Chain A
Amino acid sequence: DGGITQSPKYLFRKEGQNVTLSCEQNLNHDAMYWYRQDPGQGLRLIYYSQIVNDFQKGDIAEGYSVSREKKESFPLTVTSAQKNPTAFYLCASSIFQGSNTGELFFGEGSRLTVL
């Protein structure tokens, strides 16, 4: 079945540690996205990418890094510079149509807790 797989589903981290969240898609989509969701809140865009080896900062990129070495993969690293990393992280992909980009397909999310 085609879809987006995020792992791990739950992750615990000590302060000062970097962690990497995995996102893989087999939908052959060009565009991929990372969003952060805090309790009772909407989604805020961290990074997005329309093509391999290219990505752009979203609204809250500070303390995060990404790479896009393969079309299917868009891992997110939460660095120790992120002051409040405890959140629910959602990865998504879409067919890239520029400013006419439509439906996003989401993974099931990764919940990160900093101890």
Chain B
Amino acid sequence: SQQGEEDPQALSIQEGENATMNCSYKTSINNLQWYRQNSGRGLVHLILIRSNEREKHSGRLRVTLDTSKKSSSLLITASRAADTASYFCATVSNTGGFKTIFGAGTRLFVKA
């Protein structure tokens, strides 16, 4: 089962624009994480936000979490061509063990 559902499935923007990706999940969580994957490569961790946090920043990344709506968003500001990748949200539930469950991802294409 996939816990997170990302929206949109794909996003194409111009360099310099902001990119926003959304994630919805189903069960209560301890934390939510965002990962990036370049084509054919492993995933790289970007940022983690805990269930008692509402917003977190890291460089050009801004993540928000709304536990009442079971949703999160990832904002990449001033995008670059090198940001072209797939982005996944992942959740760790506070029930049922310590599994990290991933969504289907958003494919971001940044045009130079």
Contact = CB atoms under 8 A, between A and B. Distances in A.
22 contacts: A4-B42, A31-B98, A35-B102, A42-B4, A43-B43, A43-B88, A43-B102, A44-B2, A50-B98, A58-B99, A88-B40, A96-B98, A99-B30, A99-B94, A100-B30, A102-B31, A102-B48, A103-B48, A104-B45, A105-B45, A107-B42, A108-B42
Contacts of B93: 99
B1 interface: yes
B40 to A, nearest CB: 7
Nearest to A42: B104
A115 to B, nearest CB: 20
A40 B30 CA distance: 27
A19 to B, nearest CB: 19
A106 B99 contact: no
Given A41-B104, A42-B104, A102-B48, A109 B98 contact: no
Shortest 3 CB-CB distances between A and B: which pairs? A106-B42, A42-B104, A43-B102
Interface residues of B, number: 30
A4 B44 CA distance: 12
Interface string B83-112: 000001010111101111111110100000
Contact of A109 (B30, B31, B41, B94): B41
B33 A102 contact: yes
B92 A100 contact: yes
A53 interface: no
A90 interface: yes
Interface of A: 4, 31, 33, 35, 40-45, 48, 50, 56, 58-59, 88, 90, 92, 94, 96-109, 111
Contacts of B41: 108-109
Given A99-B30, A108-B42, 16 more contacts: A4-B42, A31-B98, A42-B2, A42-B4, A42-B88, A44-B102, A50-B98, A92-B43, A99-B94, A99-B98, A100-B92, A102-B33, A104-B35, A106-B44, A109-B40, A109-B42
